[in-house]
A and B are shown apart, each in its own frame.
Chain A
Amino acid sequence: MSETVVKTGVYPVPLKDPYADETTQPFWDYALQGKLSASKCRTCGTCLMPPQPRCFVCQGKEFEQTVLPGTGTIYTFTVVRHPLRPGLDEAVPYVSGIIELDGTQGAGARVQANIVNCDPEKVRIGQKVKVLFEKVSETYAVPRFEPA
């Protein structure tokens, strides 16, 4: 797949594969179907993002990959204005944020993501967002979020 044109506000993802193992593959399988999911503790229901070997609440080690609504709330964000490496000159300004996901308990399952299709000057903490997946390769669909 050739290099795509860099669009302002859209962070160009440098990976072309998720380099998944058994624990993380389920997330990327769902991602290719356009579904947001999290690893959910079978014992206490705590959601983890990304998957971890143990639940931080009950120390359990059995999890189930569970589909989420795909919506969330901006917990915090930054507008990146200075291009930190070559190839980002056209991408800035772009918004990177931490999102708390609906269907989870919040902390422990927050995701970091590029927030797109928005005016960077108008992004606010507490804003509702929804996931959209961008297919980067046959194996890797990347989650971004946009205003809901």
Chain B
Amino acid sequence: MKDKTAIVGVGATPYYKRGQSVPETELSMACTAILAALDDAGLTVKDLDGFAIYSSSCDPAVVGATLGVEEIRFAATLTSGGGGSAGSLGLAAAAIVSGQAEVVVSLMTLQQATRRLGGTRDSNAVQVSGGSPYGGGGIPPGMAFQAHSGLLSPGHSFSLLTQRHMHLYGTKREHLAQVCINQRDNAIKRPTAIRKEPLTMDEYFSARMISDPLCLFDYTMESDGAVAVITTSAERARDLKQKPVYIMASANGGMGRWGSAIFTYFQMPDEYFASSGHRPVARRMYEMAGVGPNDVDVALLYDHFSPLVIMQLEDYGFCPIGEGGPFVADGNTRYGTGRIPVNTHGGHLSEAYIIGMTHVKEAVEQLRGVAVNQVENCEIALVTGGPAGLPVSGTLLRRD
């Protein structure tokens, strides 16, 4: 699969604060992003024949019919949520390399006007009405083992992971703050970013604590918008409008006992409980590409929560396990001066939260040489999917 396919087009809607995209809909925004991506590639709807998505981001049946796609030859999703963002590119590559489809779209579209992602877990439980003793009222038997703990959201779950990482390795809130500050600095120059006010260490430490050790700034924004990318074969890519961005390698999965990891399941073995879950995926991805962390020029790491940037730096081999905090504090991930700039677009923490697809877009722009915070001599970019339930994923992209 290595280098046999390339991203040839990227398209996006504006990014909005949660719920502000109305009267657009998830479907209308998906269509806008897909058409923009096709146009960017110098292709049209007539060329589109595959959907390789994650988190069931759209229904290919509905989008295909709405756009008037002629024939769909591949329609598949990675099975987790944000964990599959980078891996959807590998899925697209697999579709193309296997000869099933030629022009494949990967995308995310998101609107949070009537429902919020990661909304409180007991919202099912509070709607209880009476029922039979055995599974009545539509409440599954497992719910009673969770409903009493007070753990209500992904943020609570990641707080648990972070607390243990701090206990094991001495990671500090100052390290998390630096992740947030670096990304805010990257967002300031970007017209598309939602949060553009500079963030100081003092402001970080004055912020409201949501659930120890995470404060307001450690949490991703909630946004609306859509981003789509078009992948095709390397041969076809050479004839199209933009310089191809080759998919060097992609891996999805994780250790079996990583499981649904921390949303309702906390049974991951000690060895990797306090981690992003990406170690096995990183290893396979680098192996497929034939490169290592020292070859990566920019890292677009899924940042739903700041501490997971630190854990991914460790799991992708940029620094030893447990040393991610000091690695960030020492400036290694800063744009301009750091050895491995991270989230040069501001990421979920400062630009917008489109469940990982803005990281793909930024990687493509970096490798095309047109990024706002352009990394010099940028040849290889890492994009990761969200540390969360299995499968998680990682993809290496390289320039022409």
Contacts and interface: CB of A to CB of B under 8 A. Distances in A.
Given A107-B267, A140-B144, A81 B149 contact: no
Interface in A52-89: 56, 75-82, 84-85
Contact of A107 (B141, B152, B213, B270): B270
B148 interface: yes
Contacts of A106: 270
B148 A13 contact: yes
A145 B125 CA distance: 21
B151 A112 contact: yes
A21 interface: yes
A125 B164 contact: yes
Nearest to B132: A19
A81 B211 contact: yes
B156 A82 contact: no
A45 B366 CA distance: 53
B66 interface: no
A84 B153 contact: yes
B134 A21 contact: yes
Contact of A112 (B122, B128, B266, B274): B266
Interface in B132-183: 133-137, 139-153, 156, 159-161, 163-164, 167
Interface in B261-281: 266-270, 273-274
Nearest to A87: B126
Interface string A106-126: 111111111000000000011
Contacts of A109: 267
A143 to B, nearest CB: 7
B23 interface: no
A19 B131 contact: yes
A22 interface: yes
B150 A50 contact: no
B236 interface: no
Given A56-B257, A80-B156, A82-B211, A114 B161 contact: no
A49 B145 contact: yes
Contact of B133 (A11, A50, A82, A139): A139
Contacts of B152: 80, 84-85
A14 B126 contact: yes
A15 B133 contact: no
Interface string B203-243: 00000111111100000000000000000000000000000
A76 B147 CA distance: 18
A114 B164 contact: no
Interface string A25-66: 001100000000000000000000110000010000000000
Select the residue from B122, B148, B161 with max chain A CB neighbours within 10 A: B148
Contact of B163 (A78, A81, A91): A78
A98 B164 CA distance: 10
B120 interface: yes
A7 interface: no
Nearest to A95: B150
B158 to A, nearest CB: 9
A96 B167 contact: no
Contact of B269 (A15, A17, A18, A107): A107
Contacts of B133: 17, 20, 139
B150 A80 contact: yes
A21 B135 contact: yes
A14 B153 contact: no
Contact of B268 (A50, A107, A143): A107
A98 B208 CA distance: 24
Given A81-B212, A82-B210, A11 B149 contact: yes
Contacts of A78: 151, 156, 159-160, 163, 211-214
15 contacts: A13-B148, A15-B144, A19-B131, A19-B134, A19-B141, A77-B160, A79-B209, A80-B152, A85-B123, A98-B266, A107-B268, A110-B267, A113-B149, A126-B167, A142-B148
Interface of A: 11, 13-24, 27-28, 49-50, 56, 75-82, 84-85, 91, 94-98, 106-114, 125-126, 139-140, 142-144
Given A28-B144, A96-B211, 20 more contacts: A11-B148, A14-B128, A15-B148, A21-B134, A21-B135, A24-B144, A75-B164, A75-B266, A76-B161, A78-B211, A78-B214, A80-B152, A84-B120, A85-B126, A94-B150, A97-B149, A110-B266, A112-B266, A113-B148, A139-B133
Interface of B: 120, 122-123, 125-126, 128, 131, 133-137, 139-153, 156, 159-161, 163-164, 167, 208-214, 257, 266-270, 273-274
